[in-house]
A and B are shown apart, each in its own frame.
Chain A
Amino acid sequence: MALVIVAGIWTTSDQQIFAAETVKIGFNAPLSGPSAAWGLPGLEGVSIWLDRINSAGGIQAGNKKYKVEIVKYDNEGVGSKALLGARKLVLEDKVVAMLMLGGPTSDVAQPFLTKHKILTFVLIASDISKKRPYLMDVTDNFPIYHLLDAEYIAEAHPKAKTAAIICQDDAIGLAAIAWSEAGFKAAGIEVVYSKPFSLETTDFAPIVTAALATKPDIISTGATYPEFQALIFEQAHTQGWNATTGCITSACWDFHAITAKVPAKWMDGAVSNFPDFDDPQLSEEHHEFWNAWQARFPGHSWSEIVWEFKGGLDVWKYGVEKAGSVNSEKVYKALKASKTVPHSFGPGVWWGTDVFGIDNLLVPDWPITEVENAKPKVVAHKNFIHWWAKSENRKILYETLKKWKMMK
């Protein structure tokens, strides 16, 4: 499919002679609504990336330089809106790649995006499928890392025997439940509560009451929407649950929102997967990004969303440089041709054929964090490929995924 590049911005200054062409990328994510916390902060990291790239003259594709522009669209986390956004971004704005959160929005927007061969980066690995060859997850390893979290918890808290999983009833929540359950089972922990709650829920008191009645050592909120997580933890704290033999585990939280509702001390020991980028175990590059973000957005709440979309842009840039072109298809092929691709957390490999049908997930060594004094600190690294190598683990994963209808 012919690639259309929109002509750059013509200024009346000297730069006219060196006017770079502009290439556009779509940001089709929830900027409002219950999942806004998984879209909106992404723009912060993206803006830092854009400034750095564009002030250096743009990206290099073959012998051409392009300035990059992001066109955003608020799909409110709703499928039909995501499609409308995709249509607009591709047909009117002529984007060459799309950044999306994924989940229910992928189901609706992907047929269109696949038809137009638009490279799409999502944060939800379970969206990957053979029917969507151009959809890739190159940053977040949701829901894979839940398996690793469970393994770590079993090692660090040998006395914890039971787990309650509290997630919402939608594609993302169910994926979190399924993979978390598989992880716990494989680690020898019994899942005593896994009922998904309705998205309409405003009062979490009765739900937490029901969950606590099963006497869990571990409470897992997987990928529950951040606002819900804050309310759930509030209830758990109020109703007297404490992490004595076990701990809390969660993937994507909004720490500020949570500490507005519970004392920060109560969250100590909580296991997650996303360090702050000023963590001593991370690299200089990470620290630089953290400082730049702090300078530009003081007082904002840090979460993995801030850097994950920009992480996608980093991978895209790598692909563009390898392919020598901004053409969506060519970039995709170049990426897949590389055995390892630099991921934000280090070199990653492509995986996914056994479970998703196609290996479009980039898997690096993933950090495990524990909260200490209201800050998540890296305590371990785990590699999913090692977990996957054990056949007993694989068996449990397949069984659990089939139980939750994530796999035929």
Chain B
Amino acid sequence: MRKSSMNKLAGFALLTAVMIALPFVVSGYKVDFLTMLMVNVILAVSFRVITTTGGWSLAHVPMMGAGAYATALMSGNLGIPFWFSMPLAGLVAGLIGLGISYPLRRTEGFAFFVASFAAGEALRLCWIRFKIPFGGHQGLVVPPPMLVPGVQWLDFAEAIPYYFLTLVVTVFCLMIMHRLDVCRIGSTFKTIHSEENLAKSMGINTARYKMLALTIGSFFAGIAGVLLAHRLWAIEPDQFGFSTTLYLLVWVVFGGTTTFSGPILGVVVLSIIGELLRPLADWVPMVYGIIIILTLIFLPGGLESLPSRIGIPKGKFWRAQITVEDR
């Protein structure tokens, strides 16, 4: 037990070192790619928070949009500094998620799928229709974050400082969501998914937990939206529409949703493939489409289920890398 957690820690430290070194090694344009990668990781992992209760919320990407719009309005129109607008925007997204989850608390399965889609789409249509204050089809311009006013070298309009900002926020969010996953609430979520009747008979208010999951997931989606908005300096309603939702679904199904790292794997692997194929950028969606169909046919559990399918017992693969004597 201790050995595997030592390995995990070592692996984590290695990953951190790599992440810190990377932006200085690659070109400016690629740094932005890494930043977006992290944003998408937050999006995918927060999506999984909701799927652990069994719900596939197609309102998730619009929740990211909610965070983006909230920060655009707060930091743009109201001049609220980034430190406050980010958590506040996340809160707004979370509250909207809560608002959506209430009428949908009794819908399940396919009906929930469709209804969440409708709710998200309705929100998006509001952004399109109401030019005041959402900017309509053109969207809104978002100021680059002014975090440490007056300090020139920490200009977050530049790629590398923004990368590190995103890195810090991402690590923080992942830590919280992981904590959530392994604690009591997390296991309750999973029980609701796998043994709903049992949970109910134990007196657990399943509807309330589902609502909680949707709220928390939406909050983090909102945070992802904030990070996106302050890097792209502009948001449009089409960024949070159907196409992006489809990509999210592909990442998450490809990676798998049972383990915490499944969605992360999905985002990272597919994004890297997409970036490697940049000379053939037109073909990337088709590649994704083929990959996801093949995944569902041959590896329906997603990438995360690969070790068990090949026959490697979980954990042994990593244990081979580092041996630390357990005293």
Contacts and interface: CB of A to CB of B under 8 A. Distances in A.
- Touch test A–B (CB under 8 Å): yes
Contacts of A115: 157
A80 B236 contact: yes
Interface stretch (B104-112, B137-145, B168-176, B183-191): B137-145
A79 B234 contact: yes
Interface string B128-141: 11010000111101
Interface string B113-133: 000000000000000110100
Interface residues of B, number: 20
A199 interface: yes
Contacts of A78: 236, 238
A107 B141 contact: yes
Contacts of A91: 27-29
Contacts of A198: 128-129, 137
Nearest to A78: B236
B234 A107 contact: yes
Contacts of B235: 80
Interface residue tally on A, bucketed by range: 20 to 34
B32 interface: yes
Interface stretch (A50-58, A82-90, A214-222, A245-253): A82-90
Interface in A47-80: 78-80
Contact of A111 (B128, B233, B239): B233
Given A83-B232, A91-B29, A108 B137 contact: no
- Mostly, the A contact residues are helix
A104 interface: yes
B138 A92 contact: no
Nearest to B144: A111
A21 interface: no
B137 A169 contact: yes
Contacts of B32: 84, 87
Contacts of B238: 78
A14 interface: no
A88 B27 CA distance: 11
B137 A80 contact: no
A169 B136 contact: yes
Contacts of B27: 91-92
A374 interface: no
A108 B233 contact: yes
B234 A171 contact: no
Nearest to A82: B234
Interface in B212-261: 232-236, 238-239
B128 A108 contact: no
Contacts of A79: 138-139, 141, 234, 236
B192 to A, nearest CB: 38
A280 to B, nearest CB: 41
Contacts of B141: 79, 107-108
Nearest to A108: B234
- Mostly, the B contact residues are helix
A200 interface: yes
Which of the listed residues B27, B32, B137, B138 has the most CB atoms from chain A within 10 Å of its own CB? B138
B35 to A, nearest CB: 12
Interface in A179-234: 198-200
B115 to A, nearest CB: 22
Contacts of A84: 32, 232
A115 B131 CA distance: 28
Interface in B6-49: 27-29, 32
A80 B233 contact: yes
A198 B130 CA distance: 11
Contacts of B234: 79-80, 83, 107-108
Given A104-B138, A170-B137, A171-B138, A80 B239 contact: yes
Contacts of A88: 29
Interface string A97-113: 00000001001100110
B233 A83 contact: yes
A198 B136 CA distance: 9
B110 to A, nearest CB: 27
B137 A199 contact: yes
A275 to B, nearest CB: 32
A364 B60 CA distance: 52
B283 to A, nearest CB: 15
A88 B137 CA distance: 24
Contacts of B136: 169-170
A163 B137 CA distance: 26
A200 B27 CA distance: 38
A354 B32 CA distance: 40
A59 B19 CA distance: 45
Contacts of B128: 198, 200
A171 B141 CA distance: 13
A94 to B, nearest CB: 12
B237 to A, nearest CB: 10
Contacts of B157: 115
Contacts of A83: 232-234
A80 B232 contact: yes
Given A83-B233, A170-B137, 14 more contacts: A79-B234, A79-B236, A80-B232, A80-B239, A83-B234, A84-B32, A88-B29, A91-B29, A92-B28, A104-B138, A107-B141, A108-B234, A198-B128, A199-B137
Interface of B: 27-29, 32, 128-129, 131, 136-139, 141, 157, 232-236, 238-239
Please give me the 9 A-B residue pairs with the lowest Cβ-Cβ distance, nearest first: A108-B234, A79-B234, A80-B232, A80-B234, A104-B138, A199-B137, A91-B28, A92-B29, A170-B138
7 contacts: A79-B234, A83-B234, A84-B232, A91-B29, A169-B131, A198-B137, A200-B128
